[in-house]
Amino acid sequence: NNNLPWLYGPPGQQNEVWTAYQTLSNILVPLKIKISSIALSQRQSWEIKLSNNMLLILGRDDAQSRLQRFVTVYNKIFNGNTNQVDYVDLRYSNG
């Protein structure tokens, strides 16, 4: 089913990945964009791919606040035009 997200993570960390998926999905609700995949690397770094094909690199720390910052500025920056954006690196304050 194409509506189901892909969840990736190190063995034994299924609960962390599922909880992060739920939390981060809730942050995206105002944008009406869904997470198509979420990945937790061996180094505990988060990446999510959105339903509009944009990849967000959230890093290891403060994933929720970084995503919230993205949601806050999304409409101002992209104004509906995300076709030219492959990824956004949110690990930096000016990401």
- β-bridge mates for residue 8, sequence order: 39
Expressed in angstroms, the distance from the first to the final Cα of the chain is 33
- Per DSSP, 4 falls in state S
pLDDT recorded at residue 20: 98
Residue 45 near residue 59, CB atoms below 8 Å: yes
How much is the pLDDT for 79? Answer: 77
Task: Going from the first residue of the chain to its last (95 residues), give the mean pLDDT of each consecutive group of 10, the final group possibly shorter.
Answer: 86 96 98 96 96 94 95 86 82 73
- Give the per-residue pLDDT at 1: 53
pLDDT for position 77: 85
pTM more than 0.75? yes
CB 60 within 8 A of CB 45: yes
In this prediction, residue 84 carries a pLDDT of 75
